[in-house]
Amino acid sequence: MKDAVVVFSGGQDSTTCLIQALQHYDHVHCITFDYGQRHRAEIDIARELSQKLGATAHKVLDVGLLNELATSSLTRDNIPVPDYDADAQGIPNTFVPGRNILFLTLAAIYAYQVGAEAVITGVCETDFSGYPDCRDEFVKALNQAVVLGIARDIRFETPLMWLNKAETWALADYYQQLDTVRYHTLTCYNGIKGDGCGHCAACHLRANGLAQYQNDANTVMTSLKQKTGLS
């Protein structure tokens, strides 16, 4: 039997990862983190989706300490979430320092507990908001450290790492779940389900990718299959 843990926010990327994981693992455990995030409606969305899609279990873990330590527009109501700006430089204020370090480490501990061989996360280096903890180099380095620290060969999987957002939409469509991802997930930093507020960086990336896929679905799907080996 093969088990996996999905770091699950209820957003586009993690939901697409869950959809795919359910095709490849016998048991898929979802773990969602409550860190006092501004868009905390995602926790309820994650609960609903994990049940709807058929996850083996769904655990919500309180990590409010992160809210106390990490200053970000996603953890402080007095810091406005910025609109998308194509000319913006540097790391945006939506970055939550240490978030993926903490999430992946805790997910690995949970995987150890439930006997899972993999931790799956939807981070991506191709189309992303400039967060340093979404890079392939970081995930691989942390994976190595975690394996050394727990003496268990738990593998960090990043199925979206080299996909652009259009290809991520194509992946959901490949598994016939595009409508589920479009209408029932929450990616928006302002906490609006589905297509979101339309102004924040997360909404821009999501909408731009969907438009690219809808405009040239065959080309995008072909690219997805070439990158992933899907038939």
| Residue 10 annotated as part of some ligand binding site | yes
Q: Is 36 labelled as part of a ligand binding site? A: no
Question: Is there a binding annotation on residue 16?
Answer: yes
Residue 11 annotated in ligand binding: yes
Q: Is 14 annotated as a binding residue?
A: yes
Is 75 annotated in a binding site? The answer is no
Q: Is 124 annotated in some ligand binding site?
A: no
Task: Tell me: is residue 18 an annotated ligand-binding position.
Answer: yes
Does 163 show up as a binding residue in the annotation?
no
Query: Whose structure tokens read 């697409």?
Result: 16
The verdict on whether residue 30 carries a ligand-binding annotation is: no
Q: Buried b vs exposed e over 166-196: b needs ≥16 C-beta within 10 Å?
A: bbbbbbbbbeebbebbbebbbbbbbbbbeeb
CB 37: neighbour CB atoms within 10 A?
Answer: 20
* Residue 134 in marked binding region: no
Residues within the annotated binding site for Zn(2+)?
Answer: 188, 197, 200, 203
Residues within the annotated binding site?
Answer: 8-18, 188, 197, 200, 203
Residues within the annotated binding site for ATP?
Answer: 8-18
